[in-house]
Amino acid sequence: MSRSLHLAIATAIGLAFAAPALAQSQPEERVVTYGDLNLNSRAGADALISRIDNAAEQVCGVNDGRTSVRQSQINRACEQETTDNGVYDIGHPVVIARYEGSGYATIEEGDAPYYDPRLDPTSPQYDATLDPASPYYIPPK
């Protein structure tokens, strides 16, 4: 199955504050493919987030040290907003959980993902023996 996401610099921040030459040109666009990733795994979710972030950096402009401070701030704000939009456009609960830093607290059961507070290290109900990322994890028999 081929899955892809189109990222464009058509964000309010990216076009409103961009240099005049950029504002008059066509928006940049990158395609991020993720059909090869298992988004239910940490590695797959993290790989997709990295791909989205790299594409956002390309779309919004690279800060290579030769840009002005103001343009560098604009590029960073554009990159952040474009990455946010890309992650939330995918809408996958594990990808969103990894992006937000809340760990691996969603479980796929059939087609219905759900949140399990026992797997969320920030939850008072967290149980390290159930979390595969914990050194105290006890695998099921």
**DSSP for the chain, written as a single string:** ---EEEEES-SHHHHHSS-HHHHHSPPPEEEEE-TTS-TTSHHHHHHHHHHHHHHHHHHH----S-S-HHHHHHHHHHHHHHHHHHHHHH--HHHHHHHHT--S-EEEETTEEEE-GGG-TTSTT--TTT-TTSTT-----
- Per-residue pLDDT, 105: 55
* pTM listed for this prediction: 0.59
With 70 as the cut, is the pLDDT of residue 91 above it? yes
Lowest mean pLDDT among 32-46, 54-68, 98-112: 98-112
Lowest mean pLDDT among 50-59, 89-98, 107-116: 107-116
Reported as a single tens digit per residue, the pLDDT across 39-60 is 888 788 889 999 999 999 888 8
